[in-house]
Structure 1
Amino acid sequence: MPQTTEDATFRDDDWYAEELVDRHFVRCTFQRVDLTEAVSRGASFTECHFGNVAFNASRHVDSAFTRCAFRRCNLFEAEFVGCKLVGSTFAECDLRPLRVEGGDWSFVALTGADLRGVTLTDVRMRETDLTGADLTGATVTGVDFSGAQLHAARLTRADLRGSDLTALDPTAVERAGAVIDAEQAIVLAQALGFEIR
């Protein structure tokens, strides 16, 4: 039976290497909780607040963090596989080097986030706010960016192959050395007003 915890506050707790399997947290607050090397499988966090939480080297599989707020959290070497983070926000978080594989990160706010060198593969990031985010040298392949806000994002040397770039204004981002495929080149040329014949 899944265990559900509602409206609880966890402060200064040590959850180092904790295994969170089929645990459900609703409107809970986590302050200065140590989740280093923790593993979640099938867990869900709904409308939870994470403040100064250590997610270092934690691994999350098929878990959900929906409409959650992350503030000043450390996600050094954290990994999310097949996770749902729809509607969550990240502010003043250390997100490097983060690894995200699959899952749904639509409507996530990553405004101004430092995402240099992160790996995002096959993730749905529809209407995600990446305004001013730094994706220098990141691997961003097979990502659905439809409707995403990418104004003033830094995509220098990023590998963008296979990603949906229909929402990208090539003139409004830093893009030197970014790698795209032939299909994306057509999309971006059309965005610049070229006719392909």
Structure 2
Amino acid sequence: METIQGQDWYGRELDGVEYTGVEFIDLDLTEAKTEGAVFTDCTFRRVRFNVSEHTDSAFVNCRFEYCNLFDATFRRCKLTGSTFTACEFPLLTVEGGSWAFVGLSRAELTGVTFTGVRLREADLSGAVCTDAVLTGCDLSAAELSGADLTGADLTGSDLTGIEWDDVILRGATIDERQAVALAEAQGMIVVASHN
């Protein structure tokens, strides 16, 4: 496995690059930009993604370990099957793209913004998503056991197939359609009102 270690890629533009099976260790990608880049089966360890921007790029089956994604932005990116371990996500913004099957177990996701993102079957078990924005997302069959969604905005997201038994939803915002689905998931019978 090729290793790229300790390099300063501050502000670098990585357009159309392709890496497979590469280990990136102690890299500074602060304010870097990727467009159409493809990373497959790569490992990012202690990499700084601070204020970086990623557009139409793919990070497929990658491992992110002890990385800092402060104020990073991902637009229409594909992160299918990637896992995040002990990473920091303050002010992370994700717009569109697919984060299906992504591993974010026990992640600290307070205040992050995901809009229109495919998060189908993502593992968010034990994740702290307080005050997070998760609007218009496909969260169907996502694993949310033990997750804290206090104050989160879930409007417009597909919440089918989620087990809600030990999810904290205090102060979360949902729309009418979601309220019905949530009630039915709890075994309630919803009757349409006739005014």
**Class of the TM-score when normalised by the shorter of the 2 chains:** over 0.9
Aligned to 1:176: 170
Aligned to 1:54: 48
- Distance of 2:62 and 2:4 partners within structure 1: 15
Q: Equivalent of 1:138, from 119, 123, 132?
A: 132
Q: Equivalent of 2:183, from 185, 189, 195?
A: 189
TM-score by length of 2: 0.96
Structure 1 ranges of 4+ moved more than 2 A: 167-171
- What's the CA shift string for 1:96-146, capped at 9, x where partnerless? 111000000001000000000000000001110000001000011011011
TM-score by length of 1: 0.95
Residue 184 of structure 1 aligns to a residue in which SS? helix
User: For 1:95-106, what aligned pairs fall within 5 Å after superposition?
Assistant: 95-106=89-100
Aligned 8 A contact 1:149 1:167 in 2: no
Aligned 8 A contact 1:62 1:82 in 2: yes
Q: Equivalent of 1:23, from 12, 17, 22?
A: 17
Aligned 8 A contact 2:38 2:59 in 1: yes
Q: Look up the equivalent residue of 1:44 and give its one-letter code.
A: V
Q: Look up the equivalent residue of 2:187 and give its one-letter code.
A: G
User: For 1:35-184, what aligned pairs fall within 5 Å after superposition?
Assistant: 35-184=29-178
- Distance of 2:62 and 2:108 partners within structure 1: 19
Residue 172 of structure 1 aligns to a residue in which SS? coil
- Distance of 1:179 and 1:168 partners within structure 2: 16
- Distance of 2:90 and 2:144 partners within structure 1: 19
- Distance of 1:60 and 1:185 partners within structure 2: 34
Unpaired segments ≥5 residues, structure 1: 1-6
How many corresponding residue pairs? 191
Unpaired segments ≥5 residues, structure 2: none
- Distance of 2:83 and 2:6 partners within structure 1: 22
Aligned 8 A contact 1:16 1:34 in 2: yes
- Distance of 1:108 and 1:53 partners within structure 2: 18
- What's the CA shift string for 1:22-44, capped at 9, x where partnerless? 00001001000000000000000
Aligned 8 A contact 2:145 2:165 in 1: no
- Distance of 1:158 and 1:72 partners within structure 2: 25
- Distance of 1:104 and 1:191 partners within structure 2: 25
